[in-house]
C-alpha cells in the first residue's frame, strides 16, 4: 500500500549546480519535514553553503526541483518560467536565514534591527512590530539590550539578535549557515542553547555546522556532503556510530 506523502517544508529533487562549468552540487535529493532539524556536515568547499543558498534561490541551480511546501521556488510549473521578482520575494518571506557573520544593520539598535523587516517588508504598524520584536528578543535572552547598537554586543549576543530577527518574520523554516563558526569558543554554547530551544518548540531548521555534539543531540537527520555529492543521510544515532560511508567514518574518526 502506498503511504500518503509525508508533510514536507522543503523538498529537493535531483538538484545540480555548477560554478564556471564546475559541478559543485550533483543530484541532491533531500526532504525536510515540518518540525525537523536537519544538520548538514562536510568539509570546507563541499557545497554546504551553496545547497542552503539554493533553497531560497540565492543561487540558481542548473537542474532540479525545489518545493517550499506545495510551491515551487525554481520555476512556475504552469508557465515553465522563472518566478517573477514579487513571487520570489513572497516565497522568501517564508524562509529565514541566519549567517555566520550576523549581518545586523550597524546603524540600527537591537530593537530596530528586529523591527526592520516587520515594518518595511510586512508593512506592519510600528507599535505591533515593536511588540513582536520585544517578544522574540526576550526568547533569545536579549531583552536587556533593546536600545544598544550591534557594535556594543558580543558575537554570541549579535547572533541571538539575528535569530530573533529571523523568528519575528514567522518563517516556516530557518536556514542556519555555520551560525557559531565566527564566535569565540566560550560564546558558542549560548547560541546553540537558543537553537536547541527552538527545536524543542517545533521550529523547522536546516543547520550547516561543525558542532558535532549539537548535530548529534538536536538533529532528526544528518546529511554529509562530499565534493557536492550527498553521500550519507541518516538519523544521528546511525550517523555518529555506524555510518555507511567510509568517508564519513574517516571524517568522524571511527576506526574500521
> Where on the chain is the footprint of Mg ion (CB under 5 A)?
49
Cβ-contact 115, 155 below 8 angstroms: no
Residues 6+ apart with CB under 8 A from 222: 38, 39, 41, 215, 216, 232, 233, 234, 235, 236, 239, 240
56 binds ligand ADP (CB under 6 A): no
222 binds ligand ADP (CB under 6 A): no
**Bridge partners of residue 67, in order along the sequence:** 11, 72
Q: Which of 24, 41, 168, 206 binds ligand ADP (CB under 6 A)?
A: 24
Q: Which of 8, 28, 32, 49 binds ligand ADP (CB under 6 A)?
A: 49
45 binds ligand ADP (CB under 6 A): yes
44 binds ligand ADP (CB under 6 A): yes
**Bridge partners of residue 222, in order along the sequence:** 39, 234
Judged by beta carbon distances under 5 to 8 A according to partner kind, the member of ligand ADP, Mg ion, none in contact with residue 236 is none
Q: Which of 9, 15, 41, 42 binds ligand ADP (CB under 6 A)?
A: 42
- Per the listing, cell 532528526 goes with 220
CB of 7 to Mg ion, least distance (A): 29
C-alpha to C-alpha distance for 134 and 90, rounded to whole angstroms = 24
180 binds ligand ADP (CB under 6 A): no
Cα 150 to Cα 114, 158, 161: the distances in Å are: 12, 6, 9
Cβ-contact 225, 39 below 8 angstroms: no
50 binds ligand ADP (CB under 6 A): yes
Q: Is 131 exposed, middle or buried (0-12, 13-18, 19+ CB in 10 A)?
A: middle
> Distance from CA of residue 29 to its chain's centroid?
17
CB of 178 to ligand ADP, least distance (A): 8
CB of 176 to ligand ADP, least distance (A): 12
Closer CB to Mg ion, 49 or 166, in the complex: 49
Closer CB to ligand ADP, 108 or 229, in the complex: 229
DSSP secondary structure code for residue 151 in this structure: G
61 binds ligand ADP (CB under 6 A): no
C-alpha to C-alpha distance for 110 and 43, rounded to whole angstroms = 33
CB of 237 to ligand ADP, least distance (A): 24
C-alpha to C-alpha distance for 39 and 208, rounded to whole angstroms = 6
CB of 196 to Mg ion, least distance (A): 22
Q: Which of 38, 47, 140, 243 binds ligand ADP (CB under 6 A)?
A: 47
Cell of 115: 523591527
Closer CB to ligand ADP, 53 or 122, in the complex: 53
Binding site for ligand ADP (CB under 6 A): 19-20, 24, 42, 44-50
Amino acid at each position: 500500500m502506498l503511504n500518503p506523502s509525508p508533510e514536507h517544508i522543503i523538498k529537493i529533487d535531483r538538484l545540480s549546480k555548477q560554478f564556471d562549468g564546475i559541478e559543485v552540487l550533483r543530484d541532491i535529493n533531500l526532504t525536510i519535514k515540518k518540525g525537523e532539524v536537519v544538520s548538514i556536515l562536510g568539509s570546507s568547499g563541499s557545497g554546504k553553503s551553496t545547497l542552503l543558498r539554493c533553497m531560497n534561490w540565492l543561487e540558481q541551480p542548473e537542474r532540479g526541483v525545489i518545493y517550499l511546501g506545495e510551491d515551487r521556488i525554481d520555476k512556475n510549473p504552469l508557465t515553465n518560467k522563472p518566478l517573477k521578482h514579487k513571487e520570489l520575494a513572497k516565497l522568501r518571506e517564508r524562509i529565514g536565514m541566519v549567517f555566520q557573520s550576523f549581518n545586523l544593520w550597524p546603524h540600527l539598535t537591537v530593537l530596530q534591527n528586529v523591527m526592520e523587516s516587520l515594518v518595511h517588508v510586512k508593512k506592519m504598524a510600528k507599535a505591533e512590530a515593536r511588540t513582536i520584536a520585544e517578544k522574540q528578543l526576550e526568547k533569545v535572552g536579549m531583552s536587556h539590550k533593546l536600545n544598544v547598537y550591534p557594535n556594543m554586543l558580543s558575537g554570541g549576543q549579535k547572533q541571538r539578535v539575528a535569530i530573533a530577527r529571523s523568528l519575528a518574520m514567522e518563517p516556516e523554516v530557518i536556514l542556519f549557515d555555520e551560525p557559531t563558526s565566527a564566535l569565540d569558543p566560550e560564546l558558542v554554547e549560548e547560541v546553540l542553547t537558543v537553537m536547541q530551544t527552538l527545536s524543542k518548540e517545533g521550529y523547522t531548521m536546516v543547520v550547516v555546522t561543525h558542532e558535532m555534539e549539537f548535530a548529534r543531540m538536536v538533529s532528526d537527520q544528518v546529511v554529509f556532503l562530499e565534493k557536492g555529492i550527498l553521500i550519507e543521510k541518516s538519523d544521528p544515532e546511525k550517523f555518529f556510530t555506524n555510518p555507511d560511508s567510509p568517508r564519513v567514518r574517516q571524517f568522524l574518526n571511527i576506526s574500521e
